[in-house]
Amino acid sequence: MGVSTLHKSARIGALVSFIAILIGSFFGRLLQNTFPSLVVLIPYVGVLLLIVLALALLRFLPSIGASIVKSSKQPERASLYKVAFGIALIALLLFVGESLIAFPIERVHLIKYSALGFCVFFSQRSDSAFVRLSFAVSFSSLLGAGEEILQFFHPARFFDWRDIILNTVASLIGGLLAWTITLICFASIKDRQQSLS
């Protein structure tokens, strides 16, 4: 299973995330009012999504690491400090994101935009992880801002600037999670190559 399969799978994941964002934009209040008990399930859906992403990553980990090593112009071992920094930043962003939530239903923003940022990161073919991270976060954040601005014009919805920040934070979480996974894969492949030499 090659890298092209990874990119295709990530693009499908980004498309599914985009469809979830559209459904939330147009039918979110209707779904919330029709099924109020489902709001309690949102954190569980997030955990289920993380499990699915983890299982998908286990399938693609060798191809991710191999593509990073093969495409890297200046191979550099990812240090434990970079990975720890990525994980700490994700935890901090989760704390900030959680503090921006005014209503429990808004936790969906964390799920949708984290998944979108994560999938957009892996859907690109750029050699630079920084370029992929920048594009994933920018694209997801702009889409989130656009969704919120459109709500300003929808009579049944209301505009909230905190949701724009929440969407941006969620995009950062997804992108940083993908970046951290990339660093871990790069380090393990380089260690394996050096031990074989």
Domain chopping of the chain, boundaries: 3-196
DSSP of 138-165, one letter per residue?
HHHHHHHHHHHHHHHH-TT----HHHHH
Tens of pLDDT, residues 36-91? 777 777 777 766 776 676 666 656 655 555 554 454 444 454 456 676 777 778 87
The pLDDT assigned to 183 comes to 77
- The arithmetic mean of pLDDT across residues 175-181, rounded, is 87
Q: Residue 183 in contact with residue 82, Cβ under 8 Å?
A: yes
Reported pTM: 0.74
The pLDDT assigned to 73 comes to 47
The pLDDT assigned to 172 comes to 93
